[in-house]
Amino acid sequence: MENGAAKPVIVAIDGPSGTGKSSTSKAVAAQLGLSYLDTGAQYRAITWWMVNNGIDIADPSAIAAAAAKPEILSGTDPANPTITVDGVDVAGPIREQDVTSKVSAVSAVPEVRARITELQRAIAASAVTGIVVEGRDIGTTVLPDADLKIFLTASPEARAARRSGELKGADLHTTREALIKRDAADSSRKTSPLAKADDAVEVDTTDLTLQQVVECLVTLVEEKRAGK
């Protein structure tokens, strides 16, 4: 089947931090001519807004009351995925430690998840050629009917090494502890926990290079498109 005639394909990629989700998802989307959505950035964006607007992060009811207020726009070009909140470019600020340390608490609030999930479904539905959506609950909650679901894993050591390479001046041990703590928070929350969908293909990236993971996923998507 020619790519031009291929039906839109929706690919859900889930997994904990440091498994190479973002790099892999962007590369797969670019290679296959698909849109790309980083759902974690959306949760970071709403967290950034809460912090900047003085919302008490320790008070779920205050977070819930404000969940509908910020306007979050996500660009879906894998080569340049943009994100703005109320017209402000927040791609840089949402990666800072202040937001990182609070995103699990904000993400756990059901009203926040309902708002962001609705946003994610609308973006996926409007992707003309298809889309690669990465996050923690895409295959289980956001897009349970995705054409292909992939769950990336890696050892805590490998993940910490990758993540501390991304975070300037991060200490490996501290990064590993923070990752394990965040996994526990995300896996145990009541609303849409981090979990592997029953029909997801699990890919362990511990001993693979980024290029190997990308090749593996591109093959899976192409097989799915070909109806295998």
pLDDT in tens, 4-54: 456 789 999 999 888 889 999 999 999 999 999 999 999 999 999 999 999
Mean pLDDT calculated for residue range 74-85: 97
**Which pLDDT score is estimated for 5?**
53
Give the pLDDT band of residue 3 (cuts 50, 70, 90): very low
pLDDT over 50 (residue 2): no
**Can you give the three-state secondary structure of the chain, one letter per residue?**
CCHHHCCCEEEEEECCCCCCHHHHHHHHHHHHCCEEEEHHHHHHHHHHHHHHCCCCCCCHHHHHHHCCCCCEEECCCCCCCCEEECCEECCCHHHCHHHHCCHHHHHCCHHHHHHHHHHHHHHHHCCCCEEEEEECCHHHHHCCCCCEEEEEECCHHHHHHHHHHHCCCCCHHHHHHHHHHHHHHHHHCCCCCCCCCCCCEEEECCCCCHHHHHHHHHHHHHHHHCCC
Mean pLDDT, rounded, of the chain: 91
Mean pLDDT calculated for residue range 115-140: 96
